[in-house]
Every structure is written in structure tokens, then in C-alpha cells.
Structure 1
């Protein structure tokens, strides 16, 4: 079952990557008491994720935070090493929180997993965005196609804040 507006995020342990490396962070610890924009991507370094989805959040970083958001986080079913490299490569290190859901446990718990085995990518995440306040989903935008980044883009989030 897919998570819905009004639902509380399930707890899981993710890897938050930064300049000092990766550290374990629980969903409860990261989202509790904060307003967070979270967007999920099928894979770091993939064309739509790197060229269309992520750049909008970097370009609108200040505008999003200016509307009462404490953090913007991107999550992918990739390991922490890939997410660390993507943070550096994208120029988003220090602006966005890059979360690695290496085994996809959190993504599956959300009901937002996507089997891309036919393309040789295995099980990944659907492309989505959400506004989470105090661990509760306030808005949820799920793309119908992983090749699109419109419904889940930064412009849509700005409309919802």
C-alpha cells in the first residue's frame, strides 16, 4: 500500500551523506519536529534525475527554505558511496541532504518501489516529492513515468508551500 497524505512516515535507518562521510540516521530522528521537503529519484546520476529533477531543487533551494522548510532531502535506492559522489558532482553538497536507502527498505515501506529490472536497474524508487511536517505527509506528488520530473519537481513543491 502506498503512503498517503496524512500518514506518518515509517521508521527506517538511512545513510545521510556529507563532507564527513556517511552516518546512520533514523527517519524518526531526521523528520521529527521539522518541515522537510523530500524527493525520491530512481537513481543517482541517471539522466532525468541529474539533468531535470535535482537541478530544480538546487535552483529553488533558497525559495523553498524561505517558506518555512527546515531541510530539502533527496533519497534514492543507491548506496552511500554513490550518493556521496552524486552530492559532490551535482554541486548540492551542503545544500541538500542526500539520503541513501541502499537496500530499498524505506522505499518499500512507503510503497513507492518500482521494478526497473527490464532496463537492468533492479528495484528502485518511483519518482516523487512530498512535504513532511513532524514526520507526517502533508503533500505527495508521484510521477506516472520515471522519465518525467514535472509533478514531483521543485516548481510543484513551491506551489504547495
Structure 2
């Protein structure tokens, strides 16, 4: 079942990229924070690299000014996510998450089957806003679209 507004973030271990790579459980990640989590189908893919992540990089300070952390997730391995974040000049404070096996996407009910494109099971393109682990806003894109999960749209909701 897909996560809904008012639900708690499910507990899953995920890889967080910072100076190195560590494992953090999602409950601890969201605990005591206001956070926008956006997810892309794949690092280094066209829309993700040309629009989605760049929008959050551009507006990172606007989220920070509101006291909101920003996390980017994809079903990619942590080494790919680290390289992608570096290539996109992701700000040091942006949380980069590698959901290598898609466990978090599945727990959220937001996985998608991209095997027809040779990509396996991935995450749908979405953005959510949570306070202390409770989902307050949830925007899931229709297949092939990029609109409601953009940084600009999420800022307009907060």
C-alpha cells in the first residue's frame, strides 16, 4: 500500500552518502526534523540530472531558510549516488540516499517496474514533506511527468 498523508515513515536501513558512506535507519533520519525527501528513478538519467536534482540544488537555501532539510534518494548503489551528487554540485548539507535494493521505495509503496527500460525495479518520481517522521505532503508524479515533485512546486506548498 502506498504511504499516505498522516502516515509515519516506515523503518528501513538505507545508505547515506556524506564524507563516506554509512547506514542509517529512516526513523532516525527523519526524527525531530522537517524534511523534504524527493526521489528520482535513476542517477545520471536525463530528467533527473537536467531538472529534478538541479532544481533542489538551486533552491536548497530557500528550504534551509525555512528550517527544512532536503534529501535526495534513488534506487542506485551508494557509489553511483556519491558520484552523481558530486557531478551535480549537490550542496554539502543535502542528504544523499542510496536505496540500492529498493527497500525504502517498496516500504513506501512507491516502487515502479522499469524492467522494460533495462533498469529493474526503481522508485517512482515523488517528493514528500515530513515533520518528525510524519508525512504532511505527498506528491507523486504520473508516469513520464515531472511537475509536482519539483523543488519549485514543493516550496510553493510549504
Mapping 1:1-161, distance limit 5 Å: 1-18=1-18, 20-69=19-68, 71-145=69-143, 147-161=144-158
**What is the DSSP-based 3-state SS (H/G/I as helix, E as strand, rest coil) of the residue aligned with 1:54?**
helix
Deviation at residue 66 of structure 1 after TM alignment: 1.1
Q: Give the TM-score normalised by structure 2.
A: 0.97
Contact between 1:48 and 1:148, CA under 8 Å: does it hold in 2?
no
Q: Give the TM-score normalised by structure 1.
A: 0.95
Contact between 1:143 and 1:150, CA under 8 Å: does it hold in 2?
yes
Spell out structure 1 runs of 4+ moving beyond 2 A.
none
Contact between 2:57 and 2:91, CA under 8 Å: does it hold in 1?
no
Q: What's the Cα RMSD here?
A: 0.9
Deviation at residue 93 of structure 1 after TM alignment: 4.5
Q: How many residues align?
A: 158
Runs of 5+ consecutive residues of structure 1 not aligned to the other structure: none
**What is the DSSP-based 3-state SS (H/G/I as helix, E as strand, rest coil) of the residue aligned with 2:148?**
coil
Query: Alpha-carbon deviations, 1:94-121, whole Å to 9, x = none?
Result: 1411100111011001000000100111
Aligned partners of 2:152 and 2:145: how far apart in 1? 14
